[in-house]
């Protein structure tokens, strides 16, 4: 019978795979903007990125709550900031007000990478160590 340590290890691996997908979508957004792809293509990537991020954050936050993660509030705040920023970028793009989209996409990619490298890594370490 699996124990909580097995569950935490499996959950950490699944979360890492989700991070790979999320970063892939962000990189696709950056490429689409750099390649001057049409507005509909960029909007489609943004919509996928937002929907995926919402689902990922929900599952990650549930896992943090199940494990009484010590950094829960700050971690969730980062998620909220990322989603707010992505939604604003999408709204600006939909309104045709996106001359800075390349810079914004690169900025959010950097923020997400930093979040994964710090807050998510801290959480993964705690999961792995069974704390």
> For the domain that residue 19 is a member of, what is the CATH number?
1.20.120.50
Kindly state the tokens that stand for 115. 């979040």
The predicted structure's pLDDT at residue 58: 94
**Number of structural domains in the chain:** 1
Is the pLDDT reported for residue 131 higher than 80? no
| Distance from C-alpha of 113 to C-alpha of 92, rounded to nearest angstrom | 23
When pLDDT is averaged across residues 111-124 and rounded to a whole number, the result is 88
Counting Cα atoms < 13 Å in the Cβ hemisphere of 129 gives 8
- The pLDDT > 70 percentage for the chain reads 87
Is residue 7 predicted with pLDDT exceeding 90? Answer: no
The rounded distance, in Å, linking the Cα atoms of 33 and 38 is 9
CA 82 – CA 121 distance, rounded (Å): 17
Domain assignment of residue 103, given as a range: 4-129
């Amino acid at each position: 019978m699996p124990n909580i340590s097995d569950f935490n290890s499996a959950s950490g691996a699944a979360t890492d795979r989700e991070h790979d997908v999320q970063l892939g979508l962000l990189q696709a957004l950056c490429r689409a903007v750099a390649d001057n792809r049409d507005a509909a293509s960029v909007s489609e990537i943004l919509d996928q990125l937002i929907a995926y991020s919402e689902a990922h954050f929900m599952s990650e936050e549930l896992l943090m709550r199940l494990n009484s993660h010590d950094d829960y509030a700050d971690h969730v705040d980062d998620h909220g900031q990322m989603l707010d920023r992505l939604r604003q970028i999408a709204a600006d793009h939909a309104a045709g007000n996106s001359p800075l989209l390349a810079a914004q996409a690169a900025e959010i990619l950097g923020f997400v990478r930093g979040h994964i490298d710090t807050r998510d890594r801290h959480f993964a370490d705690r999961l792995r160590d069974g704390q």
